[in-house]
Amino acid sequence: MGGQAHNSIDQGKQILVVEDEADIASTLSYHLSRTGYTCRLAGDGQTGLAEAQRQPPDLIVLDRMLPRLSGDEVARRLRSDQRTARIPILMLTARAEESDELVGFALGADDYVRKPFSIKLLMARIQALLRRDQPHGETGDVLTAGPIVLDRGRHEVTVAERPAGLTAMEFRLLAALMAARGRVLSRNQLIDAALGAGAAVTDRTIDVHVAALRKKLGQFHDWLHTVRGVGYAFRPVAPEPEKA
């Protein structure tokens, strides 16, 4: 299991795993190495932060509950340090912490996976985050996420090479969400992005446009996530595999 579905662009990418539970850390290290990543381990928050600053990795898998410095605090400090601000962070959360998981996003995690997790699912999410971080996917006129391509220059969105037929409003909403690289945007942020700051539009209007946009994404509609009580996020998701 794991290891087979990788692409050459992932080979040699450095992943820092900050996890104090030794068995989880060694399982992750085993599968990451097998997939072709270079893996470094840190057993507490302080060490993890220092490692990330010493040699910034391509991605960080960060446990939330850590000795010496919590995962939330590590994420906050990584985001406020220019050297590490843009490193994708995948946070591991325990079921008991679920009510708090939005706090993780507020502090800058790009994605989260709940423990206990299937290794297949985790590897898929790591690959998705690394792809999202490809320069082609985040800069310039074209934003891409798998089969969804948004071309700002041509003002066109294609899904699996077919034009999605978005309205101007839907286009601006999707552009803002894709550019946010998985971060949650509040309805106010979306209103600012789609209509300009302070536009007189209700939250409900945004919900209606997002619902219409979602329909036009067809089979990828669930990449546009509703984050209850907060807003929306665009996150490519791999099909949920069976638990390992």
- Supply the DSSP string of 41-87, one letter for each residue: EESSHHHHHHHHHHS--SEEEEESS-SSS-HHHHHHHHHTSTTTTTS
Q: Choose the stretch contacting Ca ion; rule: CB under 5 A; options: 14-22, 45-53, 114-122, 198-206.
A: 14-22
Nearer to Ca ion, 21 or 138 (CB): 21
Under the binding rule (CB under 5 A), the answer on residue 110 touching Ca ion is: no
10 vs 63, beta carbon nearer Ca ion: 63
State the Cα–Cα distance between residues 29 and 35, nearest whole angstrom: 10
Which residue in the set 63, 72, 97, 170 belongs to the binding site for Ca ion (CB under 5 A)? 63
Question: Nearest to residue 29, comparing CAs of 134, 125, 123?
Answer: 123
Q: For the chain, how far is it from start to end, CA to CA, in angstroms? A: 8
Rule CB under 5 A: say whether 44 interacts with Ca ion: no
Judged by beta carbon, residue 62 or residue 233, the one nearer Ca ion is 62
Give the Cα separation of 102 and 94 in Å (integer).
13
The count of residues in the chain is 244
Q: Give the nearest residue (CB) to Ca ion.
A: 65
20 scored as a contact of Ca ion (CB under 5 A): yes
| Window of 19-27, 40-48, 225-233, 234-242 that interacts with Ca ion by CB under 5 A | 19-27
Q: Which residues are at the interface with Ca ion (CB under 5 A)?
A: 20, 63, 65
